[in-house]
């Protein structure tokens, strides 16, 4: 197999001589043309990872390879990267043209060539009309585009985006998100985006690396993350509204796993569970709000009590409780179940994830 | 860039004028002396309008029998020279010293920062003895350049500390962006950081100029003569002979006005830059 575009080998970054870790033991392989999202809650180490990729931080452990080349000690300017910062980081004293031309000027490129390149990239991102203005005269979305231009103007091998959309309002965010995705597909540049917004990551990227507390939790395409989260953290972080978690006790009888929960007994098909991963019989069931069917009675179902109903327009969201556990159940708008009556729901077993309570890891296939 | 929301006059509560009046009354403690100064400089002892108080600008002024002050243009120019040189020395040193304190980690950084604050708090007068020894060893006594040297040295700790604060407020992103774009650290500093810190640098420039313009103690101690700078010139006018002041109050007031006017002119020119608080061209 050929060398991947980016390879991280046991990469770690510690401070105070190894006392506190921002990131530890990250292994990642990113192929040419991939759009990878580094996703995690704030302070999880995703930005640190990006800073190590762009060369502003040096890893304290492990190695980073770009196209097979060891780059741990390579200066940012020699890494063939373009970067978009959260605050866009436009130089306030320079015109938009000069901002975009800045990286080229540092390469001592000829004037005519600079003008041509800036024009070209400005056309792609559609900001030609602003070239003469100053950054302070542009709106947030326009500044964001200029930052993209500046990152792309030197034809980088890798485009790094550090929370590029967190300063935009919700509507503009969607628009810019589409644009970035289309642009990336069009020019095919390998891109890495840092974000804490799981929806953004799901929408924009071809692969997502979920990071928590400095440790890579799972690296997979978005649909796999959604369907088969490796552990409880990934399961809880991906998806909106979030997954429901139900504590239960698992026992096997005749090829079927019976899971006893507070709200009833569920029968999980035996071929789904990898029993070798079980450490005890305490498990956590993970069921997404969409994956429930309403049934008539309490047999092989969960008995829930409705707290209140959110009418979301395209569907109804039942906020329920089952003992102490709070659950969300999404139903079609045609369902009009009275709040006072018990709600019997049966999960769609194809989409049920079972996690070992002890290790937090998934035990379903 | 966030627009600062101001309370519009229309939204003010009724009866606010009472407080405005009260505030004006309190402010009058400051305002009245200035008003008096202006009035005094344009009136003769009989209370009529006159310009003859301003003759010190064109001819010598007698302060004692046989002793006169030179034409005021000389001390004016000296003050200007003193203040300009001072500002020109302070600004580059301050900017170059404050940047590493704000941005880089090196051994002794914290100690240095603490020393700056302590040194800024030292009273000038307490250091006079060492100043005298220092200047005489350097053969700089009774020379304006020697006093500028002292003044700059005294002024730097505070200005470096202030400038460090301005640098601290510049977004790291913009510096990182320049480095990723291929600029060297020095070029990043010169092309990106210094322009972004322009309002801060303007504050240092104007403040150090005004500090030089207003300097009195060091000049009166280290410079011989009555009229080296304007501060000196004015204090010489207060020379009394047999308990009587020879220089009329009108002339004194006019000299004070002449000393103040350049400050006002500087503020008119600098206010735009001084009021400008711009940060990285980003919405934050």
Select from A216, A237, A258 the last residue of a domain: A237
Residue B201 touches chain A, beta carbons under 8 Å: no
ipTM confidence: 0.85
What is the model's pTM? 0.82
Note whether residue B51 is domain-resident: no
* C-alpha B79: how far from chain center: 12
CATH of the domain at B166: 1.10.3720.10
pLDDT at B5: 67
User: Cβ contact (<8 Å) for A167 and B281?
Assistant: no
CATH of the domain at A299: 2.40.50.140
Note whether residue A48 is domain-resident: yes
CA distance A9 to A279: 30
Question: Looking at the structure, do residues A249 and A233 belong to the same domain, yes or no?
Answer: no
Question: Looking at the structure, do residues A135 and A223 belong to the same domain, yes or no?
Answer: yes
User: Cβ contact (<8 Å) for B283 and A167?
Assistant: yes
CA distance A89 to B282: 7
Number of H helices, E strands in chain A: 8, 20
Domain count across chain B: 1
Note whether residue B59 is domain-resident: no
Note whether residue A361 is domain-resident: no
Note whether residue B21 is domain-resident: no
User: Cβ contact (<8 Å) for A77 and B181?
Assistant: yes
Bridge partners of B69, per DSSP, are B61
pLDDT at B62: 76
Question: Looking at the structure, do residues A194 and A313 belong to the same domain, yes or no?
Answer: no
Task: Look at the block and give the residue holding tokens 């901002």.
Answer: A99
User: Cβ contact (<8 Å) for B281 and A54?
Assistant: no
Closest chain A residue by Cα to residue B280: A92
Question: Looking at the structure, do residues A92 and A215 belong to the same domain, yes or no?
Answer: yes
Question: Looking at the structure, do residues A179 and A282 belong to the same domain, yes or no?
Answer: no
Note whether residue A74 is domain-resident: yes
Tell me, what DSSP letter sits at residue A341? S
Note whether residue B82 is domain-resident: yes
Note whether residue A314 is domain-resident: yes
pLDDT at B1: 43
* C-alpha B119: how far from chain center: 19
Bridge partners of A282, per DSSP, are A249
User: How many CB contacts within 8 angstroms connect chain A with chain B?
Assistant: 87
Question: Looking at the structure, do residues A65 and A203 belong to the same domain, yes or no?
Answer: yes
Note whether residue A136 is domain-resident: yes
Note whether residue A129 is domain-resident: yes
Note whether residue B117 is domain-resident: yes
Question: Looking at the structure, do residues A111 and A96 belong to the same domain, yes or no?
Answer: yes
Question: Looking at the structure, do residues A104 and A229 belong to the same domain, yes or no?
Answer: yes
CA distance B171 to A316: 45
* B interface test, pick of A91, A100, A146, A150 with most B CB neighbours within 10 Å: A91
Nearest CB among B180, B181, B280 relative to A87 is that of B280
CA distance A124 to B159: 46
Residues of chain B with pLDDT under 50: 1-2, 278-284
User: Cβ contact (<8 Å) for B195 and A91?
Assistant: yes
Q: A142-185, pLDDT tens digit by residue?
A: 999 999 999 999 999 999 999 998 888 888 899 899 999 999 99
Note whether residue B116 is domain-resident: yes
Select from A185, A213, A237 the last residue of a domain: A237
Question: Looking at the structure, do residues A171 and A24 belong to the same domain, yes or no?
Answer: yes
Mean pLDDT of chain A: 91
Select from A178, A203, A237 the last residue of a domain: A237
Note whether residue A363 is domain-resident: no
Contact list, A83 vs chain B (CB under 8 Å)? 176-177, 180
User: Cβ contact (<8 Å) for B281 and A106?
Assistant: no
User: Cβ contact (<8 Å) for A93 and B196?
Assistant: yes
Residues of chain A with pLDDT under 50: none
Question: Looking at the structure, do residues A130 and A10 belong to the same domain, yes or no?
Answer: yes
Q: Are A263 and A352 contacting, i.e. CB atoms less than 8 angstroms apart?
A: no
b (16+ CB within 10 A) / e for A8-35: bbebbbbeeeeeebbbbebebbbeeebb
Contacts with B241 (C-beta within 8 Å, 6 or more apart), sequence order: B64, B65
Q: Are A5 and A32 contacting, i.e. CB atoms less than 8 angstroms apart?
A: yes
State the smallest CA–CA distance between residue B14 and chain A in angstroms: 38
Per 3-state DSSP, chain A is made up of helix, strand and coil in percentages (nearest 5) of 30, 35, 35
Closest chain A residue by Cα to residue B172: A89
Domain count across chain A: 2
The whole domain housing B254 covers 67-274
Contact list, A58 vs chain B (CB under 8 Å)? none
Residues from A in contact with B at Cβ < 8 Å? 54-56, 76-77, 81-83, 85-93, 102-103, 106-107, 134-136, 140, 143, 150, 167
Tell me, what DSSP letter sits at residue B191? I
Question: Looking at the structure, do residues A273 and A230 belong to the same domain, yes or no?
Answer: no
pLDDT at A76: 93
Contact list, B195 vs chain A (CB under 8 Å)? 91-93
Closest chain B residue by Cα to residue A150: B181
Of A243, A248, A250, the closest CA to residue A351 belongs to A243
Q: Are A166 and A86 contacting, i.e. CB atoms less than 8 angstroms apart?
A: yes
CA distance A330 to A350: 17
pLDDT at B49: 87
Q: B259-273, pLDDT tens digit by residue?
A: 999 999 988 888 877
Nearest CB among A89, A140, A167 relative to B177 is that of A89
Residue B3 touches chain A, beta carbons under 8 Å: no
**Residue ranges with strand state E in chain A:** 6-15, 20-30, 35-39, 61-66, 69-70, 81-84, 158-162, 190-195, 207-212, 215-220, 244-253, 256-261, 264-269, 282-287, 292-294, 302-311, 316-322, 325-331, 343-347, 353-356
Of B187, B284, B2, the closest CA to residue B195 belongs to B187
Of A301, A300, A305, A291, the closest CA to residue A337 belongs to A305
Contact list, A48 vs chain B (CB under 8 Å)? none
The whole domain housing A344 covers 244-356
Note whether residue B49 is domain-resident: no
Question: Looking at the structure, do residues A15 and A158 belong to the same domain, yes or no?
Answer: yes
Note whether residue A322 is domain-resident: yes
User: Cβ contact (<8 Å) for A140 and B283?
Assistant: yes
């Amino acid at each position: 197999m050929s060398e991947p575009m980016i390879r991280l080998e046991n990469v770690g970054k510690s401070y105070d001589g190894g006392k506190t870790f921002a990131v530890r033991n990250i292994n990642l392989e990113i192929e040419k043309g991939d759009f990878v999202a580094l996703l995690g809650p704030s302070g999880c180490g995703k930005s640190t990872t990006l800073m190590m990729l762009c060369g502003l931080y040096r890893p304290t452990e492990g190695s980073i390879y770009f196209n097979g080349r060891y780059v741990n000690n390579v200066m940012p300017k020699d890494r063939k990267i373009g970067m978009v910062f959260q605050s866009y980081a436009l130089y306030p004293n320079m015109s938009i043209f000069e901002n975009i031309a800045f990286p080229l000027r540092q390469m001592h490129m000829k004037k005519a060539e600079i003008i041509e390149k800036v024009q070209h990239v400005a056309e792609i991102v559609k900001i030609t009309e602003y070239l003469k203005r100053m950054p302070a005269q542009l709106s947030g979305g326009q500044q964001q585009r200029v930052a993209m231009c500046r990152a792309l103007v030197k034809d980088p091998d890798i485009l790094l985006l550090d929370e590029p959309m967190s300063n935009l309002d919700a509507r503009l965010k969607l628009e810019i998100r589409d644009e970035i995705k289309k642009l990336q597909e069009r020019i095919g540049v390998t891109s890495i985006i840092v974000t804490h917004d799981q929806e953004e990551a799901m929408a924009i990227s071809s692969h997502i690396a979920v990071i928590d507390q400095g440790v890579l939790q799972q690296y997979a395409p978005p649909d796999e993350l959604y369907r088969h989260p490796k552990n409880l953290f990934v399961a809880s972080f991906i998806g909106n509204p979030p997954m429901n978690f139900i504590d239960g006790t698992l026992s096997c009888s005749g090829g079927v796993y019976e899971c006893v929960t507070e709200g009833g007994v569920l029968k999980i098909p035996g071929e789904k569970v990898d029993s070798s991963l079980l450490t005890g019989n305490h498990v956590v069931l993970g069921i997404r709000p969409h994956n429930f069917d309403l049934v008539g009675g309490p047999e092989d179902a969960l008995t829930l009590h409705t707290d209140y109903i959110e009418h979301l327009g395209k569907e109804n969201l039942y906020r329920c409780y089952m003992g102490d556990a709070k659950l969300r159940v999404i139903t079609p708008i045609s369902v009009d179940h009275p709040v006072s009556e018990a709600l019997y729901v049966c999960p769609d077993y194809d989409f049920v994830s079972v996690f070992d309570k002890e290790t937090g890891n998934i035990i379903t296939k | 860039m966030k627009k600062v929301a101001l309370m519009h006059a229309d939204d003010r509560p009724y009866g606010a004028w009472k407080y405005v009046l009260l505030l004006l009354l309190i402010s009058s403690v400051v305002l009245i002396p200035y008003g008096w100064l202006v009035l005094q400089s344009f009136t003769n002892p009989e209370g009529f309008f006159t310009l003859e108080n301003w003759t010190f600008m064109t001819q010598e002024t007698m302060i004692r029998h046989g002793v006169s002050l030179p034409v005021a243009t000389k001390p004016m120019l000296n003050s200007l020279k003193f203040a300009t040189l001072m500002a020109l020395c302070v600004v580059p040193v301050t900017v170059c010293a404050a940047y590493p304190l704000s941005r880089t980690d090196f051994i002794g950084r914290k100690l240095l920062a603490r020393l700056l604050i302590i040194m800024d708090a030292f009273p000038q007068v307490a250091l006079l003895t060492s100043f005298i020894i220092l200047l005489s060893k350097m053969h700089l006594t009774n020379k304006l350049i020697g006093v500028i040297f002292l003044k700059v040295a005294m002024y730097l700790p505070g200005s470096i500390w202030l400038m460090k604060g301005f640098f601290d407020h510049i977004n790291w992103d913009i510096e990182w962006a320049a480095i990723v774009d291929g600029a060297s650290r020095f070029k990043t500093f010169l092309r990106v950081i210094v322009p972004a810190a322009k309002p801060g640098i303007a504050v240092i420039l104007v403040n150090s100029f005004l500090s030089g313009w207003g300097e009195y103690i060091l000049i009166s101690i280290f410079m011989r003569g009555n009229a080296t700078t304007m501060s000196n010139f004015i204090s010489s006018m207060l020379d009394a002979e047999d308990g009587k002041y020879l220089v009329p109050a009108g002339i004194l007031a006019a000299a004070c006005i002449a000393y103040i006017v350049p400050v006002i002119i500087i503020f008119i020119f600098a206010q735009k830059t001084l009021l400008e608080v711009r940060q990285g061209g980003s919405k934050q």
